[in-house]
Amino acid sequence: MVIHKHILLVVSLVAASFGTALAQDDERKALRVCQDPNNLPFANAKGEGIENKLAELVGKELKLPVEYFSFPQRMGFLRNTLRFKLPGENYRCDVVMGWPPADGAVLATKPYYRSTYALVFPKNGKLAAVKSGADFLALPKEVIANLKIGVMDRSPASQWLARHNLVDQGVPFRMLNADPSHYAGKIIDESLANGDIDVAVVWGPIGGYYAKRVKTPEMVVIPLKSEGPQVKFDFEIAMAVRHQDKKLRDTLDQLIDKKRPEILAILKEFGVPVVDDQGALLQ
């Protein structure tokens, strides 16, 4: 699992502090989660995503039912979910299950995993010999020149293409799309599976999940390591609450420590490439 910068708490102390935190917050009747209703592998309206499974784990531990407030995760997501409150009413939801901890717009928990961008391509195709990012970059120039490399626009993958003079081989896909039926995995289960591109460079959880779903052709997922300050591929993911909800944040921090094996199992089930803070693959 990711090497986190915190001290593991003794399970008995965690359990005791859960009770204290909840007693101080006795108005909480449910774990109210802000989510995108069509954003697999993270969440969807049917409760099938990583963050849905994690929310159920948290709710069960806190003995609270899980309720969702849904809004597409586009620009204005926090404003329309975590911060959305009409006069005389309560907030519609209290926690986002997956959010970068460095975002100062929220109060973040400790990270519960770190993942990285990855190469995804057909197992038995023209890239069958590639076992690492270095292998890919070492391919003969005439091979690379004929590749179509799918990337999300304005992502680290675009920076990577530019750094290695591969922009001409890049096929950009929109990171943000106003169409509510759009989902990030189309780059794999449609474009890559149909042969419109030869390889995709995507955020690891997306790559791992959709590569498993495509049966023909069989897909390979190769995690990529960051290349210094020029290209950062690996990122931590935490939960997010409002700045004033420190008690809830502290409770979630304790639960992350206590339920780490279960969290790892959820990530593994969804094919998430989990890495340590040096970018080395852990699962």
- What is the chain's pLDDT, residue by residue, as a tens digit (283 residues)? 333 333 223 223 333 334 434 434 557 899 999 999 999 999 999 999 999 999 999 999 999 999 999 999 888 999 999 999 999 999 999 999 999 999 999 999 999 999 999 999 999 999 999 999 999 999 999 999 999 999 998 899 999 999 999 999 999 998 777 777 788 999 999 999 999 999 999 999 999 999 999 999 999 999 999 999 999 999 999 999 999 999 999 999 999 999 999 999 999 999 999 999 988 999 6
If asked whether residues 65 and 149 sit together in one domain, one would say: no
Distance between CA atoms of residues 40 and 87, nearest Å? 33
The reported pLDDT for the residue numbered 17 is 39
The reported pLDDT for the residue numbered 176 is 73
* Domain span including residue 46: 11-112+236-269
If asked whether residues 146 and 200 sit together in one domain, one would say: yes
Helix (H, G, I), strand (E, B) or coil at 176: coil
Identify whether the C-beta of residue 113 lies closer than 8 Å to the C-beta of residue 248.
Answer: no
The reported pLDDT for the residue numbered 268 is 97
The reported pLDDT for the residue numbered 75 is 84
If asked whether residues 34 and 91 sit together in one domain, one would say: yes
The reported pLDDT for the residue numbered 112 is 98
Whether 6 is covered by a domain: the verdict is no
The reported pLDDT for the residue numbered 9 is 30
Whether 231 is covered by a domain: the verdict is no
Distance between CA atoms of residues 46 and 161, nearest Å? 36
If asked whether residues 99 and 166 sit together in one domain, one would say: no
If asked whether residues 65 and 129 sit together in one domain, one would say: no
Count of domains in the chain? 2
Any idea of the CA torsion for 202, 270, 222, 182, to the nearest 10 degrees? -20
If asked whether residues 128 and 206 sit together in one domain, one would say: yes
**Alpha helices (runs of H) in the chain, residue ranges in sequence order:** 11-24, 50-62, 77-80, 133-137, 141-144, 156-163, 186, 204-213, 246-258, 260-269
Distance between CA atoms of residues 97 and 30, nearest Å? 15
The reported pLDDT for the residue numbered 181 is 79
If asked whether residues 25 and 78 sit together in one domain, one would say: yes
How many CB atoms within 10 Å of residue 279?
A: 16
If asked whether residues 108 and 129 sit together in one domain, one would say: no
Whether 19 is covered by a domain: the verdict is yes
Helix (H, G, I), strand (E, B) or coil at 173: strand
If asked whether residues 165 and 244 sit together in one domain, one would say: no
Distance between CA atoms of residues 130 and 136, nearest Å? 6
Whether 71 is covered by a domain: the verdict is yes
If asked whether residues 149 and 207 sit together in one domain, one would say: yes
Q: What is the pTM of this model?
A: 0.87
Identify whether the C-beta of residue 30 lies closer than 8 Å to the C-beta of residue 65.
Answer: yes
Whether 26 is covered by a domain: the verdict is yes
Whether 123 is covered by a domain: the verdict is yes
If asked whether residues 100 and 144 sit together in one domain, one would say: no
The reported pLDDT for the residue numbered 68 is 98
- By CB atoms closer than 10 A (0-12, 13-18, 19+), residue 138 is exposed
Radius of gyration of the chain (CA): 20
Tokens of 2: 């990711």
Among 188, 191, 216, smallest CA distance to 204 is for: 188
Distance between CA atoms of residues 214 and 194, nearest Å? 11
Whether 197 is covered by a domain: the verdict is yes
| β-strands 95-99, 234-241 pairing | antiparallel
Whether 217 is covered by a domain: the verdict is yes
Residue 156 belongs to domain with CATH number: 3.40.190.10
| β-strands 219-223, 234-241 pairing | unpaired
SS3 content of the chain, % helix, strand, coil (to 5): 30, 20, 45
The reported pLDDT for the residue numbered 7 is 28
The reported pLDDT for the residue numbered 175 is 77
If asked whether residues 202 and 133 sit together in one domain, one would say: yes
Phi/psi region, residue 242 (left: phi>0; alpha: psi -120 to 50; beta: rest), is: beta
